[in-house]
Amino acid sequence: MKTILIGGTWVGAADGCRIDVTDPCTGAVFTQISRGGAEDVDLAVKAARSALDGAWGSLTATERGRILQRLGQLILENGEELARIEARDTGKPMTAARMDAKAVARYFEFYGGAADKVHGQTIPYLDGYNVSVVRIPHGVTAHIIPWNYPAQMMGRTLAPALAMGNAAVLKPSEDACQSAIRLGELAMEAGLPPGALNIVTGYGAEAGAALTSHPGINFATFTGSPEVGALVQRATADNHVHCALELGGKSPQIVFDDADLDKAVPIIVKAIVLNAGQTCSAGSRLLVQQGIYDRFVGRVAESFAAVKVGTPEMDLDCGPIINERQYRRVKAFVDEALATGVPLIAKGELAPELPPGGFFAPPMLFGPVPRDHSLASREVFGPVLSVMPFANEEDAVGLANATEYGLVAGVWTENGSRQMRVSHRIQSGQVFINCYGAGGGVELPFGGVKKSGHGREKGMVALDEMSTIKTIVQHYK
Ligand code: NAD
């Protein structure tokens, strides 16, 4: 099994080790990946450096953009295959996997098109001086991504980095990296010069740690848990390397008594059920104004009870949890809620005739959740929605901001002034008003505050994140 891409060639781990990959729908091993380690990472970083000094580094922005757009086109042409690979690896429904494949293509199209539209500045300075500020790549960039949207995450982090001319080393998640491998093949087919993109599959504590602590990298971007994010920040600090962190969330959906409830219900349910709640920006807290609490929560409960969980081929509302460890984590939150008397309002349904051994978890709606309960503030990363009542606008803002996270928020009200007041007071990187955009939105800057991380991805701002500036001062008199 050769799943490590170094300098344009697929190789196995230097020590020959492999990792079994399990199917979340059955718990059975269905393939293996190479277990990359420090030696493989070192070769990948060196290959990236050679690419910068060679063919990749000498391309113009337009040429880089063309390759990325070609890759976007190839992803679209191979979309169905990619969707099947992603669905097999993560267990998500085929419809969702197809949408993910389209989103990856969109990242390469968007940033391919933007590659030659990043312009510098001139600065008026002293008489006889010409000052220009140009954007330059960081150099070798390290990218560590999680398992929940493996293909999308790969596009999100790599497309802007490559557009800016960096040479990348990607460490995908050991739990789901089949799509990264296929995307690596397509990148070669699109004409990406050897070494511009290197992929090292393996465990986080081995390949991941070796990459983030490697003295040859110039920038690191990490998407994953806050705990590992802190490790990455420490590792990169030792080499004085800048890093961007996209971490977890406990995003609130705030529903005021004048909200359009018909519109809100399906979007709120989808925002937690999507990907079985394994979405960093999942709307996992539902804050409802007291006057409409019973009426609105009753409607959410009805919709929640109709949610169905199944295999990719059944193509229902969501699939299984990624693996046994994560399944046990979700179950522990649910068991604790039940044991401490938090009312279970509604429960989704597991499809009949599910294969044995899978990690299927029914979506759960709990409430009212006490404000000091773990379900009120901790990220479950599963299909569990916590409902809490609030009294007024002041109370809603206080409650919304009462977690360590700050990634995304939803505000539901027809009052325009309140929409703006609340949006400005919420501590989060994105706010959606009368809509909610978990996932998607290549054009929209995304990232967190507080323990949700720092740095921004998506949108044109990702090109700034994936580059730095150089000031050139010329004296001409
Ligand atoms: P994780 O932190 O366990 O792993 C993420 C990645 O880091 C994996 O590739 C893993 O191999 C690697 N890793 C693990 N230990 C490492 C180490 N010591 N050094 C370097 N790399 C290491 O997270 P996960 O369980 O894969 O994903 C779930 C978490 O990710 C959740 O908290 C979720 O909210 C978050 N997440 C955030 C976003 C976002 O954009 N903000 C997106 C998806 C997931």
User: E strands, 14-114, where?
Assistant: 18-22, 29-34
Q: Determine if ligand 1 sits within 6 Å of the CB of residue 274.
A: no
Q: Is the pLDDT of residue 408 over 80?
A: yes
Distance CA 73, CA 113 (A): 12
Q: Name the helix (H) or strand (E) containing 350.
A: strand 349-350
Q: Is the pLDDT of residue 436 over 60?
A: yes
What are the tokens at 415?
A: 């009052």
| Preceding omega of 368 cis (within 30 degrees of 0) | yes
Q: Is the pLDDT of residue 294 over 90?
A: yes
Beta bridge pairs of residue 12: none
Q: Name the helix (H) or strand (E) containing 289.
A: strand 285-289
pTM of this structure: 0.97
Strands 242-246 and 384-390: unpaired
> Which protein residue's CA is at the shortest distance from atom 31 of ligand 1?
225
CB 452 within 8 A of CB 245: no
Phi (first) and psi of residue 79, to 5 degrees: -60, -40
Q: Determine if ligand 1 sits within 6 Å of the CB of residue 173.
A: yes
CB 230 within 8 A of CB 209: no
Distance CA 34, CA 91 (A): 21
Question: What's the pLDDT score for residue 78?
Answer: 98
Phi (first) and psi of residue 87, to 5 degrees: -65, -40
CA of residue 400 to ligand 1 center, whole Å: 24
Instruction: Encode pLDDT of 17-50 as tens digits.
Output: 999 999 999 999 999 999 999 999 999 999 999 9
Instruction: Encode pLDDT of 116-160 as tens digits.
Output: 999 999 999 999 999 999 999 999 999 999 999 999 999 999 999
Q: Is 394 exposed, middle or buried (0-12, 13-18, 19+ CB in 10 A)?
A: exposed
Interacting residues of 347 by C-beta distance below 8 A, sequence separation 6+: 304, 305, 362, 363, 364, 365
Q: Name the helix (H) or strand (E) containing 66.
A: helix 61-77
If one residue of 144, 212, 457 were mutated to test the ligand 1 pocket, choosing by the most ligand atoms within 8 A of its CB, it would be 144
What are the tokens at 224?
A: 């994953």
Phi (first) and psi of residue 280, to 5 degrees: -60, -35
Q: Determine the atom of ligand 1 nearest the C-alpha atom of 171.
A: 9
Q: What percent of the chain has pLDDT over 70?
A: 99
Which DSSP string do the residues of 420-436 spell out, in sequence order?
HHHHHHS-SSEEEESS-
Question: What's the pLDDT score for residue 440?
Answer: 65
Q: How far is Cα of residue 277 from the mean position of the Cα atoms in its chain?
A: 13
Span 323-329, mean pLDDT?
98
If one residue of 3, 221, 228 were mutated to test the ligand 1 pocket, choosing by the most ligand atoms within 8 A of its CB, it would be 228
CA of residue 245 to ligand 1 center, whole Å: 10
Question: What's the pLDDT score for residue 15?
Answer: 97
Distances, alpha carbon 17 to alpha carbons 12, 116, 208, 264, 477, in Å: 8, 41, 16, 49, 63
Question: What's the pLDDT score for residue 242?
Answer: 96
Q: Determine if ligand 1 sits within 6 Å of the CB of residue 190.
A: no
Question: What's the pLDDT score for residue 437?
Answer: 87
- Active-site residue list: 246, 280
Q: Is the pLDDT of residue 439 over 60?
A: no
Question: What's the pLDDT score for residue 80?
Answer: 98
Distance CA 98, CA 173 (A): 20
Instruction: Encode pLDDT of 347-380 as tens digits.
Output: 999 999 999 999 999 999 999 999 999 999 999 9
Q: Determine if ligand 1 sits within 6 Å of the CB of residue 217.
A: no
Q: Determine the atom of ligand 1 nearest the C-alpha atom of 227.
A: 2
User: E strands, 165-294, where?
Assistant: 167-171, 197-199, 219-223, 242-246, 252-255, 285-289
Distance CA 327, CA 233 (A): 28
Q: Is the pLDDT of residue 205 over 70?
A: yes
Q: Determine if ligand 1 sits within 6 Å of the CB of residue 321.
A: no
Distance CA 468, CA 241 (A): 12
Distance CA 432, CA 256 (A): 14
Q: Determine if ligand 1 sits within 6 Å of the CB of residue 146.
A: yes
User: Which domains are seen in the chain, by residue range?
Assistant: 4-247 (3.40.605.10), 252-442 (3.40.309.10)
CA of residue 447 to ligand 1 center, whole Å: 15
Q: Beta-carbon neighbour count of residue 365 at 10 Å?
A: 25
Distance CA 250, CA 376 (A): 8
Q: What percent of the chain has pLDDT over 90?
A: 99
